[in-house]
Amino acid sequence: MTRLAPLLCMALGAAAVLVACDGEPAGPRPGEAFTLKLHERATLDVIQTSVRFREVSEDSRCPSRVQCVWAGNGAVVLEVAPAEADATEDTLHTNPESGPGGVVLAGYELRLLQLNPYPDTPGDISPIDYRATLALYERLDAPVQPSSAPTSY
């Protein structure tokens, strides 16, 4: 049995490497919604960028049990860190009248889809309860990047 242990370990290690190297991106794919908790980070492999949900800078959304004259706004601050550049902060809004709901990143747009929980009644929501649902979409109007591969005629 002691002779089989090293072989079993090598076989399990090889299987783990094959699973990890299957070519599929580990993070959310374009068009796929993903949700971050406060201070949680996701890696957008397709653009080699990480995104961290830093804070909710505003939550003036009209509670569902209240009649309001204005829908209000939820604003989330994201730390966006491309692999080859310094991190930046971007604020995305739930209400387009208050500010942008997305940010352009390397030919894609990262959009805020939802901020939860939605307030039911007036009052504060605990910061640890917030969840930001985001998605990365390919921009149709983005300039086409020239290919670095040689062209043969």
Residue 2: per-residue pLDDT:
54
Burial of 22 (0-12, 13-18, 19+ CB in 10 A): exposed
List, for residues 49-82, the tens digit of each pLDDT value: 999 999 999 999 999 988 999 889 999 999 999 9
25-138 architecture in CATH? Sandwich (2.60)
**The whole model's pTM is what?**
0.74
Q: How far apart are CA 104 and CA 86, in angstroms?
A: 16
Q: How far is CA 60 from CA 15, 44, 65, 68, 150, in A?
A: 50, 29, 14, 11, 53
Q: Which two tokens stand for residue 47?
A: 């653009």
List, for residues 125-136, the tens digit of each pLDDT value: 999 999 999 999
Q: What does the domain layout of the chain look like in residue ranges? A: 25-138
